[in-house]
Amino acid sequence: MTSNASATVPGGDARETGCTEIRSVLVANRGEIARRVFRTCRELGVATVAVYSDADADTAHVREADAAVRLPGEAPADTYLRGELIVKAALAAGADAVHPGYGFLSENAAFAAAVSDAGLVWIGPPPAAIEAMASKTRAKELMAAAGVPLLAPLDPAAVTAADLPLLVKAAAGGGGRGMRIVRELDALDEALASARTEATAAFGDGEVFVEPYVEGGRHVEVQVLADAHGTVWTLGTRDCSLQRRHQKVIEEAPAPRLPDALRDALHRAAAQAARTLDYRGAGTVEFLVTADGRAHFLEMNTRLQVEHPVTEEIYRLDLVALQLSVAEGRPLPAALPEPHGHAVEARLYAEDPAADWQPQTGTVHRIAVPDGVRLDSGLTDGDTVGVHYDPMLAKVVAWAPTRAEAVRKLAGALERARIHGPRTNRDLLVRSLRHPEFATATGLDTGFYGRHLDALTATGPADAAGDALCALAAALADAHGRSRFGGFRNVPAGPQFKEYACGERTHRVRYRLGRGQLSAEGFPGVRLLALAGDEVVLEVDGVRRTFALARYGDRVHVDSPLGARALTALPRFADPTARTEPGSLLAPMPGTVVRIADGLAEGDRVAAGQPLLWLEAMKMEHRITAPAAGTVTALPARTGQQVEVGTLLAVVTD
């Protein structure tokens, strides 16, 4: 990992200034943010304590901590959302401070107060400030009184067609959970119910509210940092407009193409919000900027943001170190640091963007990025993406003197990264960064994926040709690995046959190899230059390319200049029992059936695309819809049922 950020901490030694000295920090979180905080603590010489659920018992953040305390159970409601257990863990491990990370209890005023009441240092804003901003509805009232422009909430019972479109939003928490867009009044009740269910599962609070949904708006935010001595820093802007399911995917700093007057206005509004709350520590004030250049307050996140690395990179600061410094009582310098260059961050998720962003699970065998970019990840090689938590694998961050250079650097690094395991959104990220609207910053708004997702996930002839060459390389390497003679033989070999699945395509490779010569059906002009079990060098029409291969069971990952491919080796003879009846709806992931459509029963007629039931997995709700118009001939699913991948949920007969 490389980074421009350094562990910059203002002020002197805590013992000399009379401030509280933090010696040991418990992080009330997991995964990437826990590892991120631990990294800074190690640099500062501060001891670390982890907490973990049973599902996280062997994860990286547990292995890296100096001490770890078990939270019995797997679901967030039983573990990371149990504030009393976390305070007890901190006391048991001898920690003297608690860092909440983001998500879970990071914006829970009662938890912050409980930490302080236990004699521990809370590395965050005062509970009163958290309480004021914890409910988005109360936050809007407070900001309106302070003169900060905003979109006023609407009464769900009084909205009309003239108010459409609407946004249903969880009052607590963030990360896109508990949010629904409503374009028809008839859909409002279902959206409210769904958002409440998801918000309760993610945050333990089902309160939601309704506000106007602005089409084509930009999500722009300001990083603030305040101390107990009256100093408030506004550390520039970030643009987080590229979102899926209202959750950020690509973020950058500074926000491009903002007029200076608007940028200054956002800084003033953010500083006013912090001073109104008598804020301490790191926080983020988020705005929606409309196409006509008007800014509206959305919310204030009273915690560190997922996307904080882009701010660190351009200001060359360590925001976690500054959080600890402020919590110890040290003052910030009066003068703001100067920003340098541009930084862009991409969130790498285990998900399938082409299948409604469906989360993926499984073992991450390898995750590595080229030198020159920053990798913040909650995983190390061999760790598993489960069903209980967010499927984010890592954040990849690139810094450069200019935006164009940073965007190009990040796209190239993602393209060359070695990511072996579940399907990811890596290809979508690369294509997004190279899309003309993003590359020129002329199409930055929250509707980007609504306009371009189909094109960004489509495959064409070049992709098919690349798949085929990767399948050929995999077949050759497989034969080499199984043959005691190696790849080249001095006598003619019989024809070899191998079949691989790559996405929706199946590639059949038939070739003959002998006396150093390759003859492969459908590959004219292809020469084999070198062959090993993990590397194949092919020359295609005079162009030499190297294919690196890694096998994990029947999965073969191929990395080459043509891009990364994940192939599945198919058996020579299909299993005749592996059949599914037409119209069967199978669970696409492990999860819990949280709802079945009201009144749905066997024998009912349903329309194509009609929601039948909802699965909860990875803290998100996933709709299972009718594949075609027909009759529900079987409905074995039950509310509360735990299901595995492939579990039969319903059958709709056309």
Could you tell me the two tokens for 320?
A: 């976690």
> CA–CA separation, 364 vs 367, rounded Å?
7
Collapse the DSSP code of 340 into the 3-class scheme (helix H, G, I; strand E, B; otherwise coil) and give the result: coil
Helix (H) and strand (E) counts for the chain?
Answer: 16, 38
Could you tell me the two tokens for 606?
A: 């349903």
User: Do you know the residue count of the chain?
Assistant: 654
Q: Are strands 611-617 and 620-625 parallel, antiparallel or unpaired?
A: antiparallel
* Residue 175 CA to its chain's centroid (Å): 9
Nearest Cα neighbor of 168 from 142, 144, 143, 137 is 137
- How many Cβ atoms are within 10 Å of 627's Cβ, its own excluded? 16
Q: Are strands 517-520 and 526-531 parallel, antiparallel or unpaired?
A: unpaired
Collapse the DSSP code of 559 into the 3-class scheme (helix H, G, I; strand E, B; otherwise coil) and give the result: strand
Q: What is the 3-state secondary structure (H, E, C) of 574-608?
A: CCCCCCCCCCEEECCCCEEEEEECCCCCCCCEECC
Could you tell me the two tokens for 34?
A: 């826990």
Residue 484, CB-side half-sphere exposure with 13 Å CA sphere: 0
Contact 615, 587 (CB under 8 A): yes
Helix axes 31-44 and 319-327, enclosed angle (nearest 10): 70
Q: Which of 36, 303, 423, 565 is catalytic?
A: 303
> CA–CA separation, 606 vs 626, rounded Å?
7
Annotation marks residue 605 as catalytic:
no
Could you tell me the two tokens for 311?
A: 């701010």
Cβ neighbours for 475, distance < 8 A, ≥ 6 positions apart: 496, 498, 500, 509, 511
Contact 508, 567 (CB under 8 A): no
Q: Which residues carry out catalysis? A: 303
